[in-house]
Amino acid sequence: MHTLAHFSDPHLTSLADVDARALFDRRVLLNKRLFGYLSWRKRRRRVHRREVLDVVVADMVSRAPDQILLSGDLTHVGMPAECEVAARWLRSLAAPDRLRLVPGNHDRYVAADWHDTLGLWSDYLEPAGAPRWPRLWQCDEICVIGLDCAVPSGLFMATGTLGDAQIERLATMLKATAQKFRVLMLHHSPLPDGHVWRKRLTDASVLMRVIREFGAELIVHGHGHGEHFSVLPWRKGNCSVVAAPSASHAHDGRAGWNLFRIDKQGAHWAVSLEKRRRVDGRMQSAASHRWLTSADA
């Protein structure tokens, strides 16, 4: 039995100490970070609460999962100071050999120096130095494949893109690991209609073609701040697509994480999903699903 905890979109940082004048750039009339900051002041700071995240994470850690999967959006506007705070939080959460991370669109909100921003998380993202996605984390018969779809996008846009080269490397990786339980993790939904247009994964249809051909057993993602569960048929089996909600969402019942138990039983993988949600300030199991998927890919 292998256990995977998945959570997403903690948006754990605060912009309370940010001077909006420092964000204003005369060279850029429509400054995305400035608009992001204003959005945080107006709404997001009340939606994403650190005290909620702390309850969710404590519940997750107490279950001692074999691996923890985090599908991005640790920050609000990807500023160096936010990335520093998030780096310290990551180190307090789990060691890099247990915590798998992919970035979200808010972490690469605008083009920025890698060393001052995502490079601060390199122990978790790109320990070998040269960024080359997808990343493969192998743990016995479980392969976690991390995809990077976080790209800076235009004002009021929150799209993601994988790119042809990454999808090509993914196809090779899926072929090479076909005998394993393959978990794909990315920030955006892999489904072409997974999000509204301005938040979509722009090359989802290309990704879908690769998944339908080479398969995967499970895809986890975030970005929408809501739950999702669907089954994607591929050439030799079925792949479950499961979204986790935002782990810091202040509204009752909205914040939480997902626990997957994976067990090989003969020619099948037996998978169970337990949804842990924060209700009335306390964590509880909201629902569970069980399914079998072929281990004979």
- Distance between CA 79 and CA 160 in Å, rounded? 19
> Which three-class secondary structure state does DSSP give residue 206?
helix
- Distance between CA 251 and CA 296 in Å, rounded? 42
- Distance between CA 284 and CA 262 in Å, rounded? 21
User: Which residue, 211 or 247, is less far from Fe ion as judged by CB?
Assistant: 247
Of 43-51, 69-77, 173-181, 271-279, the window that binds Fe ion (rule: CB under 5 A) is 69-77
β-strand pairing of 268-279 with 256-265: antiparallel
The H-or-E segment that residue 50 falls in is helix 50-62
Rg (CA), the chain: 18
User: Which residue, 108 or 223, is less far from Fe ion as judged by CB?
Assistant: 223
**Contact, 53 vs 126, CB < 8 A?**
no
- Binding mask 8-47 toward Fe ion (x if CB under 5 A, else -) reads -x--------------------------------------
Of 14-22, 89-97, 223-231, 272-280, the window that binds Fe ion (rule: CB under 5 A) is 223-231
The reply to whether 223 sits near Fe ion by the rule CB under 5 A is yes
The reply to whether 245 sits near Fe ion by the rule CB under 5 A is no
Number of residues forming the site for Fe ion (CB under 5 A): 5
Residues 73, 107, 126, 148: which binds Fe ion (CB under 5 A)?
A: 73
Residue 223 beta carbon to Fe ion: minimum distance, rounded to whole angstroms: 4
Q: Which residue has the tokens 């990335």?
A: 83
Reference 190, options 175, 201, 181; nearest CA is 201
The reply to whether 105 sits near Fe ion by the rule CB under 5 A is yes
Taking the CB of residue 72, how many other CB atoms lie within 10 A of it? 28
User: Which residue, 106 or 180, is less far from Fe ion as judged by CB?
Assistant: 106
Peptide bond into 134 cis (omega under 30): yes
Of 34-42, 105-113, 203-211, 247-255, the window that binds Fe ion (rule: CB under 5 A) is 105-113
Helix, strand, coil percent content, the chain, rounded in steps of 5: 30, 30, 45
Of 7-15, 87-95, 117-125, 280-288, the window that binds Fe ion (rule: CB under 5 A) is 7-15
Report which residue type is found at 67. Q
Reference 247, options 239, 256, 238; nearest CA is 256
The reply to whether 189 sits near Fe ion by the rule CB under 5 A is no
Residue 187 beta carbon to Fe ion: minimum distance, rounded to whole angstroms: 6
The reply to whether 274 sits near Fe ion by the rule CB under 5 A is no
User: Which residue, 170 or 186, is less far from Fe ion as judged by CB?
Assistant: 186
Taking the CB of residue 113, how many other CB atoms lie within 10 A of it? 9
User: Which residue, 73 or 274, is less far from Fe ion as judged by CB?
Assistant: 73
Residue 158 beta carbon to Fe ion: minimum distance, rounded to whole angstroms: 6
- Distance between CA 163 and CA 144 in Å, rounded? 20
Of 3-11, 163-171, 200-208, 263-271, the window that binds Fe ion (rule: CB under 5 A) is 3-11
User: Which residue, 71 or 166, is less far from Fe ion as judged by CB?
Assistant: 71
- Where do contacts with Fe ion occur on this chain (CB under 5 A)? 9, 73, 104-105, 223
